[in-house]
Structure 1
Amino acid sequence: MGTPLGDFIRAKRDSIQPESFGLPDRGRRRSPGLRRADLATRAGISVEYLTRIEQGRDRNPSPAVINALADALSLDATEREHLRYVAKITSGACVGQRRPAPPSRHVRPTVLATLQLLEPGVAFVTNRLGDVLAHTSGFELVMRASGLLETREPNLTRYVFTDPRARTFFADWDQVADEQTFDLWLGPSAESSEWFAAELAPLAGQEFTRRLNRHLPPPRVPLRLNHPTVHELRWQRERLELPRTDAQELVVLLPADEATAQATERLRRQTSGTLRAIG
C-alpha cells in the first residue's frame, strides 16, 4: 500500500524528463519520467531503499535522506515544504489519535472587523479545506452568480468538484481543481484533511482522487471567472495566513486588469450587499 511520501516521490519522478537532468534518452519505457535507478544515484541511496520508500515499506526515512531526495529531484521551496510535510504524515509524527472531525468554523471578531475594513473589496476567510467562513459584500457580489453561496455552509472545494456550474464559472477549472486538492495537504490538521477527503471522495469520484494523489503543487496564476453578466473577470490573489490556532487564511482578490475593475464597479452599481459571516 502506498503512502503520501511514496506517492509524492513517484509522482514527481514521473513528471521529470531525464534530458532535463542531462541524462541520456534510453529509448521507449513502460512508465514516463525519471528512472528509479537514476533518482537513487542522484540521491546517493540504493535502488532497493528508494523502492521501499515509494512502495510504503519504509515509512520513516531520515531527514538526511529526505533532503537528499529533495536535492535529487531539484524541488523548489514549495515542493520541499510539501515533501517534509508528507514525510511527517507518513511517519505518523503529526497524526494524533483523536477521531477525524471538521475544523471549527468560528471566525474571530477582529478578523471580521478586518473584512469590514476591506469593504467594498472582494475578500473572504477560508481554510485549506475550502470552507467559506466569512466574506465581504464584494465577494458576494462577484460569486453570487456561481451558486457557491447557495448552501448553508459553503465550501469551495466541494463546489468545484460536485457542482456542474463550477466548470463554466471557473475559466481555468483544471487549475482551480488542482489548487483545491493540493491545499488539502495543508489543511487545519492531518485529521481534518483526512476526514474531508473521505467525505468528498465518493461524491467527487476519480477526478478528485487522481488529483489528490498527484501531490504536485500547482503554479499560482490569476483567477479567471466567467461571470454571466460582465463576462470574464481576472483576479490576482493575496493569501494572508492567520495564526495556526485559527487554521484559517484571509484571501483578497484584486483586479488583474482595468477591464475587471470597471466590470466590478458596474456590478456594484447594479446591486449592493453587506458583510455576512457564515458560521
Structure 2
Amino acid sequence: MADNALGRFLRARREATTPPTTERRRTPGLRRGELADRAGISVEYLTRLERGTDRSPSGQVLSALADALTMTADERVHLYRLIKADTNCAPPPPPPLRPTVQAMLDALEPTAAAVLSPAGDVLACTGGFREISGLDDEQNLVRFAFSPQGKAHHPDWEQIADDRAASLRAAADLGDHSAAVLAFELSITAGAAFTDRYGSAASLPPATGTERWGSHLLAFETLYLSGDGEHRLMVYFSQH
C-alpha cells in the first residue's frame, strides 16, 4: 500500500470525528485513546495501524473501527479497498462450466435458474433469473443481500440475510478460499449486520423453501452438481 494509505485514512477519519466533549483541544477530532476505547482495541495497536507498522488488521478490528468512526457505506467500501490493495486476497477464478450444465440452463428457460459457486457467485443463469434477481451488475448473491439494493429488493430480508450468511459460513468452514475472502470483505463493508449472523450461524441454509424477491414469491430447489467446483444449481418457481 503506497505511502501508508490505510493509516492516513484512519487518522484523517479520527481527526474529522466529533469528540465526546466540547473542551478546547490542541488537536482536532478524537484522541487515539478515545477511538481505541470506542473500538475495543489498545492505543498501542491503533498507533501501529496509523503509522503503518501493522498493515494486516482483522476484519473484526476494521469493522469495529468503522463503527467507532461512524463510517458511511461508501467509506467502509473504501476501507476494504485499501486493505485489498495491500494484500493478495483476490480469490482464484472458478473452474469453467461443463457444456452440459450450460445446456441444462438453456433448456430451463424461461424458468429462473442459476449455477452458483460455494461463495454465492452467479456463474451462469437464465434470462428469467436475471429478470427477477435485482442483481444488475452484481454477480454474487451474498454480497447483494447485504447491500442497500438487496435489502430493498427482499421483503423478507432478515430471513434472506440469515440464510446467505449461513451459506457463506458453511463454504468458508469447508476451506473455500473465495468464501473466506468474501466474509472478510463483508465484515468491513456490511459490519454487524453481517458479522453477527456469520458468527452465530449454527446450521446449514435450507436446500429448499420459499423466498420473496421483489413482488415475486418463489419456491426454490437446490441441486448439487458433480465435479471439483462444488457448484449448485438453484431453480426458482413462481408461486401464485
TM-score, L = length of structure 2: 0.56
Partners of 2:230 and 2:239 in 1: how far apart? 28
Match of 1:222, SS state, is strand
Q: Is the 8 A contact 2:118 2:176 kept in 1?
A: no
Q: Is the 8 A contact 1:116 1:136 kept in 2?
A: yes
For 1:56-103, what per-residue CA distance to the aligned partner results, in whole angstroms no more than 9, with x for missing partners? xxxxxxxxxxxxxxxxxxxxxxxxxxxxxxxxxxxxxxxxxxx98345
The counterpart of 2:161, out of the listed 171, 177, 183, is: 177
Q: Mark the runs of 5 or more structure 2 residues left unpaired by the alignment.
A: 1-88
Equivalence for 1:158: 143
Q: Is the 8 A contact 2:210 2:218 kept in 1?
A: yes
Match of 1:224, SS state, is strand
Q: Percent identity?
A: 33
The counterpart of 1:223, out of the listed 208, 211, 218, is: 211
Equivalence for 1:237: 220
Does residue 126 of structure 1 match 2:116?
yes
Partners of 1:246 and 1:113 in 2: how far apart? 18
The counterpart of 2:230, out of the listed 243, 247, 271, is: 247
> What's the CA shift for 1:197?
1.1
> What's the CA shift for 1:245?
0.9
Partners of 1:252 and 1:240 in 2: how far apart? 8
The counterpart of 2:184, out of the listed 180, 183, 198, is: 198
Runs of 4+ in 1 over 3 A off after TM superposition: 99-103, 218-221
Q: Is the 8 A contact 1:240 1:251 kept in 2?
A: yes
For 1:5-55, what per-residue CA distance to the aligned partner results, in whole angstroms no more than 9, with x for missing partners? xxxxxxxxxxxxxxxxxxxxxxxxxxxxxxxxxxxxxxxxxxxxxxxxxxx
Equivalence for 2:79: none
Partners of 2:229 and 2:176 in 1: how far apart? 15
Equivalence for 2:200: 214
> What's the CA shift for 1:199?
2.4
Q: Is the 8 A contact 2:145 2:161 kept in 1?
A: yes
Amino acid at match of 2:101: V
Partners of 1:115 and 1:236 in 2: how far apart? 18
Partners of 2:189 and 2:237 in 1: how far apart? 32
Q: Is the 8 A contact 1:102 1:195 kept in 2?
A: no
Partners of 1:184 and 1:196 in 2: how far apart? 8
Partners of 2:202 and 2:192 in 1: how far apart? 17
**Between Structure 1 and Structure 2, how many residues are aligned?**
148
Partners of 2:158 and 2:222 in 1: how far apart? 20
The counterpart of 1:138, out of the listed 102, 105, 128, is: 128
TM-score, L = length of structure 1: 0.49
Amino acid at match of 2:183: A
> What's the CA shift for 1:106?
2.1
Q: Is the 8 A contact 1:240 1:250 kept in 2?
A: yes
Partners of 1:253 and 1:122 in 2: how far apart? 5
Match of 2:171, SS state, is coil
Amino acid at match of 1:204: A
For 1:166-191, what per-residue CA distance to the aligned partner results, in whole angstroms no more than 9, with x for missing partners? 11210110111111111113327414
Amino acid at match of 1:215: A
Equivalence for 2:136: 149
Q: Is the 8 A contact 1:239 1:251 kept in 2?
A: yes
Backbone CA RMSD of aligned residues = 2.1
Q: Mark the runs of 5 or more structure 1 residues left unpaired by the alignment.
A: 1-98, 227-231, 258-279
